[in-house]
């Protein structure tokens, strides 16, 4: 395999692994947070506004790790610096 094949294959495989592994943790975390928030709302419906707002902020915090993984994999596929470098070397 030439270096261009290796870089292409490794970039695509890594992009897939990144988004696959990177979405597991946030998905579990968001599910747990949502379950606890629903339980809290069921116990105290009067506090639903505060709980929902805090839940949204918390979910955004948790989700940002998944977004980082998404950005990394998108960069690997669409704007890969090593790929561009190899292409410019090959001509």
Partner 1 sequence: MEITPDTIIIFQWNGVHINATIFFTWVVMVLLIFISWLATKNLTIGPKISRWQNFLEVIVGYIRQQVREITQQNPDPFIPFLGTLFLFISLSNLLVIIPGYQPPTGSLSTTSALAICVFFAIPIFGIAKKGMKAYFKQYLEPSIIMAPFNIIGDFSRTLALAVRLFGNVMSGTLIVAVLLIITPLFVPIVMQVLGLLIGQIQAYIFTVLATVYIASATRVEEKLEKIEQKEGSKEDE
Residues of this chain that interact with partner 1 (CB under 8 A) are 49-50, 53, 56-57, 60-61, 63-64, 67-68, 70-71, 74-75, 78-79
How far apart are the C-alpha atoms of 49 and 56, rounded to whole Å?
11
Give 2 or 78: the residue with its C-beta nearer to partner 1.
78
CA distances from 48 to 5, 38, 58, 60, 66 (A): 54, 9, 15, 18, 27
| In the complex, least distance from residue 73 CB atom to partner 1, rounded to whole angstroms | 10
Residue 6 or 87: which CB sits closer to partner 1?
Answer: 87
């Amino acid at each position: 395999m030439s270096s261009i094949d290796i870089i292409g294959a490794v970039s695509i495989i890594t992009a897939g692994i990144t988004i696959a592994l990177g979405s597991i943790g946030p998905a579990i975390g968001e599910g747990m947070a949502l379950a606890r928030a629903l339980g809290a709302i069921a116990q105290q419906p009067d506090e639903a506004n505060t709980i929902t707002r805090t839940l949204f902020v918390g979910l955004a915090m948790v989700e940002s790790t998944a977004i980082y993984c998404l950005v990394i994999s998108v960069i690997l596929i669409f704007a890969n610096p090593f790929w561009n470098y190899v292409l410019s070397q090959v001509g």
